[in-house]
Chain A
Amino acid sequence: MTGASRDRSHHRLPDDLPAAADTWERAGAVDRAGVRAVAAHGLLGLTVPAGYGGGGLSLRESVEAHREVAGHSPSLQSLLVVHGMVCHAVRRWGRPELREDLLPRLARGELLGAFALTEQEAGSDLRALRTRLREQDGQFLVTGRKRWVSFGQLADVLLVFGVGAGGGTSVLVPVGAGARVRPEQVTTGLRASRLADVVFHDTPVPPSAMVGRPGFGVPHVATDCLTVGRLFVAAAAVGVAEAAIGLAAAHAAARVVGGKPLGCRQLVRALLAEASVAAEAAWHTVCSAADTLDRAEPAAALAASRAKFGAAQAASLATAHASRVLGAGGLTEEHRLTRLDQAARTYQVIEGPTEVLKDLIGAAVVNQARGAAPHADGAVRAQEEDDRARTA
């Protein structure tokens, strides 16, 4: 294990989670029984205020659950991410009647939420969204197509981002009210996360379902949700890194080569040292970012991006090193390390690809220096004019 300390637990996981996770991964699908089990353990309402029937945890307290669930099932943890982002959006930016109506049911898991932002041609660039929100006869009509919606196959409501006459915003669309949901192809990483391809054609929703004012829902609500999502994914990446290190350490202790356990060999120890320090450092960055978000500090969004970048790197390093330690046995499709390795690769892509995050983080570092020396560099400004045309 890493040197990162275990915190006082604010949650409990289903006892059969490790066995269930194996079943889901083989089937390529988390089933409804799995969703009911995590709902029964309160894992779908961790950060929803107690007044709405949730766990009332701070983000700092909740990241531990994300870390632990991902160590067993990265796919299931992605349900906690997308459902958690929907809860966050409704709580923070929904109208009072929407909060009263939906939050208790979301917190109990009676309603499952999914986050429908990504389109075929729009990912990190929110300006490229093509989904339309048209106002007619006192309601919104949603037309467009959303791709790779995690748990879209099981969700009851989708938080759909699109553009209307007054600008971009989001609306909560009940599935079954004219939304056509089809399974996406199973992906290599997070393969059991029930990805959906969802098409809306003049799907009607009432104005009360709007989350965030037009022109502010996109980018503001989207970015706010992605910030929380990045934190959760960062915590998951640490869980994946630690699980991989655990597998490698157990193998190094037990496997004897040339009369000595693998763990007595310095190069094997070096792999474990690098991985465990990277995971521990990433965890501290995640906790620090969670505290920053809980205190609503101005630097919170950047802190979440930094944490997600660092944790995804740690997960990739740890799974690659673990793969070296475990040898051929760890390369089989069914091996737990393969699942972790594929999750680590996925974490480099979702909730802000590593390259986009590096660009944001690096720009902030430069900006800080320019703040100290305001007339530093005209070329940097020219580049930033270009950067600002993009959102993430």
Chain B
Amino acid sequence: MTDIQQTATYNQVRTRIREHVLALVGLPDIADDQPLITDHVMDSIAAVQMVAFVEGAFGLQVEDEDLELRHFDTIDGLVGLVTGKLGLR
């Protein structure tokens, strides 16, 4: 994959995660570094849904060692988790 392709895919991941988070929390916009779980923007059911979404949308298996709060608390964290597992940097 070329750098341009990598960047395009990276951006697609971010867009897809942003869209899903916005739909989950029911807000028109949210900052990529806004804490979702620790600031109670997202409840525990939504947090469960995020794990299922990441696995389903990107064909990944979220393992025990991935379950760090920093991976799920912000859009940035989610993008980092997914792109890391997909080998996109």
- List residues of A whose CB falls within 8 A of some B CB: 93-95, 126, 167, 212-213, 215-216, 219-220, 222-224, 227, 295-302, 305, 360, 367, 370-371, 374-375, 384-385, 387-392
Q: B67 within 8 Å of A by Cβ?
A: yes
Q: Specify which chain A residues have a CB less than 8 angstroms from the CB of B20 in the assembled complex.
A: 298
How far does the alpha carbon of A135 sit from the alpha carbon of B45 in the complex, in Å?
Answer: 28
- Please name the 7 residue pairs, one residue from A and one from B, whose CB atoms are nearest each other, closest first: A219-B44, A388-B40, A374-B28, A223-B44, A215-B69, A367-B26, A391-B44
Q: Which residues of A sit under 8 angstroms from B26, Cβ to Cβ? A: 367, 370-371, 374, 384
Among A220, A299, A374, A389, contact of B47 (Cβ-Cβ < 8 Å):
A220
Which residue in chain A gives the minimum CB-CB distance to B39?
Answer: A388
Q: Does B52 contact A (CB under 8 A)?
A: yes
Are the C-beta atoms of B49 and A391 separated by less than 8 Å? no
Given A300-B49, A300-B52, A375-B28: A212 touches B44 (CB 8 Å cut-off): no
Q: B64 contacts which of A94, A387, A388 (Cβ < 8 Å)?
A: A94
Chain A residues contacting B48 (CB-CB under 8 Å) are 220, 223-224, 227, 300-301
Say yes or no for B23: interface residue by CB 8 A criterion: yes
B interface: dominant SS = helix
Give the A-B pair count, Cβ closer than 8 A. 81
Q: Is B53 an interface residue (CB 8 A)?
A: yes
- Smallest CB separation, B43 vs chain A (Å): 5
Extra inter-chain contacts (16) besides given A223-B48, A298-B53, CB under 8 Å? A95-B64, A213-B67, A216-B67, A216-B68, A216-B72, A220-B44, A227-B45, A295-B56, A296-B56, A298-B49, A301-B45, A302-B49, A367-B26, A389-B40, A391-B43, A392-B43
What number of B residues sit within 8 Å (CB to CB) of A?
27
* A79–B64 alpha-carbon span in the complex (Å): 26
Give the chain B neighbours of A219 by CB distance below 8 A. 44, 47
Residues of A with C-beta under 8 A to B23: 371
* A93 near B64: Cβ-Cβ < 8 Å: yes
The closest CB in chain B to the CB of A305 belongs to B45
Task: Give the distance to chain B from A78, nearest Cβ to Cβ, in Å.
Answer: 23
B27 on the A face (CB < 8 A): yes
Q: How far is the CB of B40 from chain A (nearest CB, A)?
A: 4
Q: Binary interface profile of B, 43-62, with partner A (CB < 8 Å = 1, else 0)?
A: 11101111111011000000
Given known contacts A223-B48, A297-B52, A298-B56, A167 and B69 CB-to-CB distance under 8 angstroms: yes
Interface residue B41 (Cβ < 8 Å from any Cβ of A): yes
Q: Are A299 and B40 in contact (CB under 8 A)?
A: no
* Nearest CB of A to B83, in Å: 20
The answer to whether B52 and A298 have CB atoms under 8 Å apart is yes
Are A223's CB and B45's CB within 8 A?
A: yes
Q: How far is the CA of A140 from the CA of B67 in the complex (A)?
A: 19
Chain B contacts for A216, CB-based, 8 A: 67-69, 72
Q: Inside 8 A of B72's CB, which chain A residues have their CB?
A: 216
Give Cα A367 to B24, complex, Å. 8
Give Cα distance in the complex from A223 to B45, angstroms.
7
B88 at the interface (CB under 8 A from A): no
- In chain B, what residue has the closest Cβ to A93? B64
Please name 12 pairs of A and B residues whose Cβ atoms are closer than 8 Å in the assembled complex, sorted by A.
A216-B68, A219-B47, A224-B51, A296-B52, A297-B52, A298-B24, A298-B49, A301-B45, A302-B45, A374-B26, A387-B43, A388-B41
Centre residue among A384, A387, A388 by max chain B CB count within 10 A: A388
Nearest CB in chain B to that of A94: its residue = B64
Bound CA–CA A384/B49 (angstroms): 18
Docked pose: A305 CA to B45 CA in angstroms: 10
Given contacts A297-B56, A388-B41, contact A212 B49 (CB under 8 A): no
Minimum C-beta distance from A367 to chain B (A): 4
Question: Is B52 touching A392 in the complex (CB atoms < 8 A)?
Answer: no
Q: How far is the CB of B18 from chain A (nearest CB, A)?
A: 14
